[in-house]
Amino acid sequence: MNKVFLIGNLTRDPELTTTTSGVQMCRFGIAVNRNYANAEGVRETDFFNITAWRSLAERCGKYLHKGNKVAVTGNIQMRTYEANGEKRTSFDIIVEDIEFLTPRADSNGGSASFDAPAPEAPKAAEKVVELEPVDDTDLPF
């Protein structure tokens, strides 16, 4: 089985293109922090090339920007090519599903607070009812 799940931040703006046969393709990179530190105490980062096709490509090209956090589910695809007379190998993540984790209000790449708004104080006309404490010592759990 070839399945990968990554959560990371875009390292560059997505590049949306269309193939000669009319299929949309979007490429971008993400940076994923490792869960542990190396021997020097520094947390390392891995960089992955991501490729989305068709409607996923269109959505990525339209809504994603450098710095956005995404969750990508897909598979690893190896491709070989020649550059300057040398054979090279590249590993790409082909997107099966993607979730945009950066809130829309902050889609420019910064971070946003997910804190709930503070409750408003009751207005003068509202009646505040205080509940009595419940004795939970006889509950079975």
Domain that holds residue 19: 4-35+42-106
Look at residue 66 and tell me if it is in a domain.
yes
Q: CATH code at 94?
A: 2.40.50.140
Look at residue 121 and tell me if it is in a domain.
no
Q: How far is Cα 121 from Cα 132, in angstroms, rounded to an integer?
A: 21
pLDDT in tens, the chain (141 residues): 999 999 999 999 999 999 999 999 999 999 999 998 888 989 999 999 999 999 999 999 999 999 999 999 999 999 999 999 999 999 999 999 999 999 876 555 444 433 444 445 555 555 555 656 656 666 555
- Confirm if 88 and 72 have CB atoms less than 8 A apart: no
Dihedral sign, Cα of residue 25, residue 27, residue 33, residue 38: positive
Write down the pTM of the prediction: 0.69
Look at residue 47 and tell me if it is in a domain.
yes
Sequence-ordered list of residues with C-beta below 8 angstroms from that of 34, at least 6 positions apart, any chain: 43, 44, 45, 46
Look at residue 119 and tell me if it is in a domain.
no
139 by Cβ neighbours in 10 Å (0-12 / 13-18 / 19+) ranks as exposed
Look at residue 134 and tell me if it is in a domain.
no
In the chain, the amino acid numbered 109 is: G
Q: How far is Cα 60 from Cα 126, in angstroms, rounded to an integer?
A: 47
Look at residue 117 and tell me if it is in a domain.
no
Number of domains in the chain: 1
